[in-house]
Structure 1
Amino acid sequence: MPRRSNPAPRRRAQRPKDVLHGPGGAPGDAFRCLGCRLEVPLAAPGTAHRNHCPHCLTSRHVDHRVPGDRAADCGGRMRALCLTTRQNGEWLLVHQCLACGELSTNRTAGDDNARALVRLAVRPLADTSRPVRALLTL
């Protein structure tokens, strides 16, 4: 029985993607994370203006003074440094822009990765340059 030679596989044309931009360049309903490159929906439980990835907590420098104003010119990648809390117990992420160095806080969302949040919360305890007793007395 003769062997059949497989023809070279044909490459399909890439499908048009309208996830990031709607018709006419209008903003879509999701954005791509600068850290892990996953698509992140704009709708977030617990906050009205999502600007960080719920998976890796990376953000983008888009807001200037008011959350949701999207007035920052930088657009740089912001990494999550630590967590802080408000008087009412709400957790806030502290981000630092890797391009301009500006610090900002973002509310955590209900669908944020709990493991990543806890990893940030216990980071000071893993630092061997500071005595753990001193941190626990704070």
Structure 2
Amino acid sequence: MADFQQGASRVSHPRNPLNTSTFSCVRCRLTVPVATADGGQRNHCPSCLHSRHVLDQDTGGPSTCRGAMSPIAIAVPRAGDWTVIHRCVRCDELASDPVREDDNQLVVMRMAVRPLAQPPFPLEAFGAL
């Protein structure tokens, strides 16, 4: 859910209330196609993983918030597919979107290992085990 460009070509897209085929990233301004190489639909930037809050998670319809969505974590549900967790910087709503094969692998891995690299307790406690 990124900042959509004016004059972008229109396509039918059930999850994208603005029905555009490209969007401009809210953070890095990269022009991003909504369709992915694997045939899926994307709503986050493949370079920096940021998004725009355009869908209401409760109703599934359009959101009036339009705040920037920051990637805060990677989740791996039981199905095994990785998911980017976003938090809206304006209203704090959480949203998730599947990691796509063309997403920046370095950014995805950095987010995935961050809890191990920055634990909420001192690692020295493990030295005594």
Alignment TM class, shorter chain as reference: 0.7 to 0.9
Larger Rg: 1
Structure 1 pair 53–103 and aligned structure 2 pair: CA distance change class (3 A): same
Query: Residue 34 of structure 1 is aligned with which of 26, 29, 38?
Result: 26
Code of the aligned partner of 1:98: V
Cα separation, partners in 2 of 1:127 and 1:72, compared to 1, 3 Å? same
Q: Following superposition, which runs of at least 4 residues in structure 1 exceed 2 angstroms of deviation?
A: 26-29, 45-49, 128-134
In structure 1, the residue matched to 2:66 is 75
Q: Secondary structure at the match of 1:122?
A: helix
Relative to the length of structure 1, the TM-score reads 0.70
Per-residue deviation, 1:29:
2.2
Q: Which of 115, 120, 130 is the matching residue for 2:111?
A: 120
Equivalent residue letter for 1:88: A
Give the drift of 1:28.
4.2
Q: Distance in 1 between matches of 2:61 and 2:7?
A: 16
> 2:8, 2:22 within 8 Å by CA — same for their partners in 1?
no
Alignment RMSD: 2.8
- Stretches of structure 1 lacking an aligned partner (at least 5 in a row): 1-18
Is the partner of 2:54 in helix, strand or coil?
coil
Q: Distance in 1 between matches of 2:78 and 2:19?
A: 35
Separation (CA, whole Å) in 2 of partners of 1:88 and 1:23: 34
Moved more, 44-53 or 32-41: 44-53
Kindly tell me the number of residue pairs found equivalent between the two proteins.
114
**TM-score (norm. length: structure 2):** 0.75
Native 8 Å contact 1:52 1:58 kept in 2: yes
Counting only pairs closer than 5 Å after superposition, residues 1-138 of structure 1 correspond to structure 2 as 20-22=6-8, 28-46=20-38, 48-65=40-57, 71-127=62-118, 129-132=120-123
The answer as to whether partners of 1:43 and 1:50 remain within 8 angstroms in 2 is: yes
